[in-house]
């Protein structure tokens, strides 16, 4: 069975708080407008979103599977697009970032076989017109998702900023007041960290990630949940405090990523929660790098 999940779109181009309720289908009057497909491929999930102009109209989440054939992803994507009133022929281009190299040729082949020949396929690269000054030792090491997150923060919010992306790994990106991506801190993701514990501790049974009721657990499950969530909150608060000491006290803290909700309910260090920050950055990157249409 295909592991797909439809998520609420943010609606506003810069809104950092997700809108509750069902997604709207596109207005039929806009169906002649070009539609951009943004694709963010991570180690665990493939996040997709459609943009009509600056508006994010729909988002979805698929499982990252490098064994799946391009035609298999195409079948799922075709079905998802049709549920929003679109087809492959409506797509004016693809903007894609991928931290999984094996997934890139899969989606390139999908685009070549199913999208209009005039639709450009733009892959995020540090060597392109990123709109971000990458000020690390080797700029080519910077992940494409980190680049577009920084681009979105600079253009849609303000700097200096710290971007916390809660995924397979949790990344803390530091952007200074001049819009330079200075570097980052990397930590094991919320689930990844506990996976290691469950694998190496023979007497600990795997549990579901749920909010703890108390800090002091009175049984093994409660103790694990307390350390899991509150321990991770301490990691986040500690790194944010140390980064702000270098960037300045007015630094904006932006959270994104699929596991953010488990931490954000327990801390006040985050100023903005924008679950679709990466997709918005992909739209901005596409606008900077797509070839101009020929008259």
Q: Give the phi and the psi of residue 201 in degrees, each rounded to 5.
A: -105, 105
CA distance linking residue 111 with residue 68, whole number of Å: 15
Active-site residue, from 145, 149, 165, 173: 145
Task: Judge whether 137 counts as a catalytic residue.
Answer: no
CA distance linking residue 72 with residue 68, whole number of Å: 6
Total length of the chain: 295
CA distance linking residue 236 with residue 172, whole number of Å: 9
Residues 42 and 100: beta-carbon distance below 8 Å:
yes
> CA nearest 241: which of 171, 169, 172?
172
DSSP class of residue 125 equals -
Residues 44 and 98: beta-carbon distance below 8 Å:
no
> CA nearest 182: which of 260, 243, 255?
243
Total Cβ atoms within 10 A of residue 252: 17
Burial class (CB in 10 A: 0-12, 13-18, 19+), 230: middle
CA distance linking residue 272 with residue 270, whole number of Å: 6
Q: What is the largest CA-CA distance in the chain?
A: 70
Structure tokens that stand for 139 in this block: 């700029």
**What residues are labeled active site?**
145
């Amino acid at each position: 069975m295909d592991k797909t999940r439809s998520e609420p779109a943010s609606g506003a181009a810069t809104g950092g708080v997700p809108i509750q309720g069902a997604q709207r289908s596109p207005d039929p009057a806009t169906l002649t407008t070009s539609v951009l497909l943004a694709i963010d491929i991570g180690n665990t999930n493939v996040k997709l979103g459609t943009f009509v102009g600056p508006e994010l109209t729909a988002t979805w989440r698929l499982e990252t599977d490098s064994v799946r054939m391009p035609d298999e992803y195409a079948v799922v994507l075709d079905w998802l697009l049709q549920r929003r009133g679109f087809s492959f022929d409506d797509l004016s281009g693809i903007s894609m970032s991928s931290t999984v190299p094996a997934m890139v040729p899969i989606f390139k082949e999908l685009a070549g076989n199913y999208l209009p020949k005039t639709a450009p396929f733009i892959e995020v690269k540090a060597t392109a017109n990123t709109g971000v000054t990458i000020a690390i030792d080797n700029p080519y090491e910077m992940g494409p998702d980190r680049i577009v997150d920084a681009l979105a923060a600079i253009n849609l919010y303000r700097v200096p900023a710290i971007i916390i992306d809660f995924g397979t790994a949790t990344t803390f990106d530091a952007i200074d007041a001049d819009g330079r991506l200075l570097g980052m801190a990397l930590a094991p993701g919320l689930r990844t960290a506990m996976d290691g514990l469950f694998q190496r501790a023979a007497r600990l049974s795997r549990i579901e990630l749920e909010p703890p009721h108390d800090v002091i657990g009175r049984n093994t499950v409660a103790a694990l949940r307390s350390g899991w969530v509150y321990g991770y909150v301490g990691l986040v608060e500690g790194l944010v405090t140390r980064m702000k000491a270098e960037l300045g006290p007015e630094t904006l803290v932006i959270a994104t990523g699929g596991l953010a909700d488990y931490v954000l309910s327990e801390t006040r260090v985050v100023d903005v929660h924008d679950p679709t920050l990466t997709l918005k950055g992909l739209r901005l990157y596409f606008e900077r790098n797509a070839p101009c249409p020929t008259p």
